[in-house]
Structure 1
């Protein structure tokens, strides 16, 4: 029974999820991380962790992850969870290679976008029109994409010179370019091994060396997506569908239309990421080529708190950890154990300052184990190096979970006129 006293009681407000990170705070954090990495490099002698080659490889590996993450961002800002990014990337790899080896790489990119958009359209029909659970629909698309591409490969690639039922013929490369003069100067500066300066030179050198035209396009899509979603009326209407679709409908927004557009665009981004893998990274389609990058792209979107800038940082982090598997292997990962120890020590100090003594004690034990691991070994096993991107994905999501805020209506079914 409700009493007058109960009615007058103030309602409990949800606990804040933490202070919003501003751009200056993010820049300070990145600068601090660079200082720590430089210290670790000098202590361990693992110059490869900030070399131009390492950073260039990391950027190449980060691009498909970032494109998949952008796809997830567009869909979820409109209120549709897109677990099917992996399947849409698979469609992008296949359609990109299929069109690329016949009509050239640029045509392949267009068809890769179309292939991913088809997956997005299927997801939109299932979730928006038929109100299928978003997770179930996404998983179904991932399974469907694997089967469909395997089936189509037997007709499109088998019997063709250079092709089999599991791979396409070679695709013509888009080519690469470097910024003349600047890339050479940064490379020479990186090789000097100076504290911090050489590390910054390695980071910048990786961004201006051996670039694919599609890499430049992918980087540009991050600020373009931010501008469209946060600085245009179209973006405002789209985001309103993910926050409060009933209120959006009451203001005349066609919620169904915007959800459909968002999910199709989402699939297009994921398909472009898939086409990058088959046309730029490998110049060939291979079965299983995506390797879970659609899921990692989704993780980078969550890490970035559903914002393009944070998403780009997350994709860069995952691309860097993935690049360790290709360059330096166990030696570089072993050096980063010391970096992890320093980061844990900083976290311990922060917890003590906040008087969170139990978490600080647990973190101290973990830090001690990491330090012992580093001191008693010279190299990390190859199996751990291979698993590093996925371990980092889990750790980042676990540690950043408290400050996240997804769109309020994300994943919820919408019925037209439900607010009447």
Structure 2
């Protein structure tokens, strides 16, 4: 009598869920957008769209937003809503300026700024995790407290100093900058040719390899580091389980309070790093109101990225790019983005038609046609639209995003050990 023996074969990895931005999807989407942008540059003649100066300015505007968004991602993946990111960035700007001004060492300012953000995160963690205070209430209170407290401390410390004041610090030391000068020498002439795609790629490479602050490099590396820690380590799995189902995590022996505290402290530290960037890299002085709502914009970038580091980086880059165009005085370049939006709408229309949603496809095509007509009949945009182009562009992309936004299941819940929420 023969005995049938089943041999277990390894299962194939499941395909990526719809809406999840895998590294391959992110790269593909980025390449497609860059090629479209290069085409718009050729059609409109607005070389500022992809030149090296715009790339550098984009990084300068994207880094603080990205750090705030990354801080929000850490907190919300553990189930804590961190509206207080704005206040933690304020703490980072002032603490970094205080330490750098006192010691003359920018690295002391970097450490102090991160610690300042961590202290803000600790306050938020004590309120929300230990005492169960509503997350939104705690975050708003931290934002208000940070602005008032830093004004008071500025009067005490900065105002008596030469060049300082009640709302600003004296000039601060800068961080070293790194780069590959030979790349600019090699590719600079190629960028000036303004050839389709070739010159655009040259401008991108030159912008990414010329006079980059060390803090910018650190911030960029924190994005893949966050992905690896949260999605490729047991620590990250436990932390994310606290944001999905803290009851199940507790039943498996996970110290939910500990991981929530760690997540919010890291969240504050990242926001503080973004604050240091604003005070000592994007500028050389601390000023009141320097954050300019970037903590809130970072949260929007995080939601746009579907609570994933790669998508968050794309959202921060979008804000940074549109902000760079309007700040550099290229109102005509922002006007040229009407064609890019129209191209995106055409792509959306094709995709909707393939899915059988013909009405949505026709609406997208109609809006794309209106944008093309608008571009053809005008030479520039109203100043108000140019000023708020980062916010408008992000709202449009979020409205047209095909991914399914899914927040962690237990985010915002007040959880108690042994008793659930």
* TM-score scaled by length of structure 1: 0.92
1:44 correspondence with 2:44: yes
Given that 1:59 and 1:206 are in contact with CA atoms closer than 8 Å, whether structure 2 keeps it comes out as no
Displacement after TM superposition at 1:37 (Å): 1.0
Distance 1:263 1:240 in 2: 15
Q: For residues 296-353 of structure 1, what are the alpha-carbon distances to aligned partners after superposition, in whole Å with 9 as ceiling and x for unaligned? A: 1111111111111221122111111110122242111011111111111221222222
Distance 1:17 1:141 in 2: 37
Aligned pairs (5 A) from 1:12-27: 18-27=18-27
How many pairs align?
A: 405
2:53 alignment partner in structure 1: 53
1:89 correspondence with 2:92: no
Give me the CA root mean square deviation: 1.8
* TM-score scaled by length of structure 2: 0.92
Distance 2:25 2:164 in 1: 50
Greater alpha carbon shift after TM alignment, 105-114 vs 366-375: 366-375
1:323 alignment partner in structure 2: 324
1:190 alignment partner in structure 2: 191
Greater alpha carbon shift after TM alignment, 155-164 vs 395-404: 395-404
SS of alignment partner, residue 138 of structure 2: helix
Q: For residues 397-416 of structure 1, what are the alpha-carbon distances to aligned partners after superposition, in whole Å with 9 as ceiling and x for unaligned? A: 33338511111111111110
Q: For residues 64-112 of structure 1, what are the alpha-carbon distances to aligned partners after superposition, in whole Å with 9 as ceiling and x for unaligned? A: 1111111111111111011111111111111111111111211111111
Displacement after TM superposition at 1:158 (Å): 1.0
Greater alpha carbon shift after TM alignment, 351-360 vs 396-405: 396-405
1:9 alignment partner in structure 2: none
Given that 1:299 and 1:397 are in contact with CA atoms closer than 8 Å, whether structure 2 keeps it comes out as no
Greater alpha carbon shift after TM alignment, 263-272 vs 26-35: 26-35
Q: For residues 250-286 of structure 1, what are the alpha-carbon distances to aligned partners after superposition, in whole Å with 9 as ceiling and x for unaligned? A: 1111111110111011000000100110011111011
Greater alpha carbon shift after TM alignment, 92-101 vs 401-410: 401-410
Given that 1:89 and 1:272 are in contact with CA atoms closer than 8 Å, whether structure 2 keeps it comes out as yes
Given that 2:72 and 2:267 are in contact with CA atoms closer than 8 Å, whether structure 1 keeps it comes out as yes
2:6 alignment partner in structure 1: none
Given that 1:17 and 1:403 are in contact with CA atoms closer than 8 Å, whether structure 2 keeps it comes out as no
2:168 alignment partner in structure 1: 167
**Unmatched segments (≥5 aa) in structure 2:** 1-15
1:369 alignment partner in structure 2: 370
1:244 alignment partner in structure 2: 245
1:122 correspondence with 2:123: yes
Displacement after TM superposition at 1:419 (Å): 5.6
1:270 alignment partner in structure 2: 271
Displacement after TM superposition at 1:395 (Å): 2.2
Given that 1:42 and 1:195 are in contact with CA atoms closer than 8 Å, whether structure 2 keeps it comes out as yes
SS of alignment partner, residue 97 of structure 2: helix
**Unmatched segments (≥5 aa) in structure 1:** 1-15
Displacement after TM superposition at 1:17 (Å): 8.9
Distance 1:151 1:392 in 2: 37
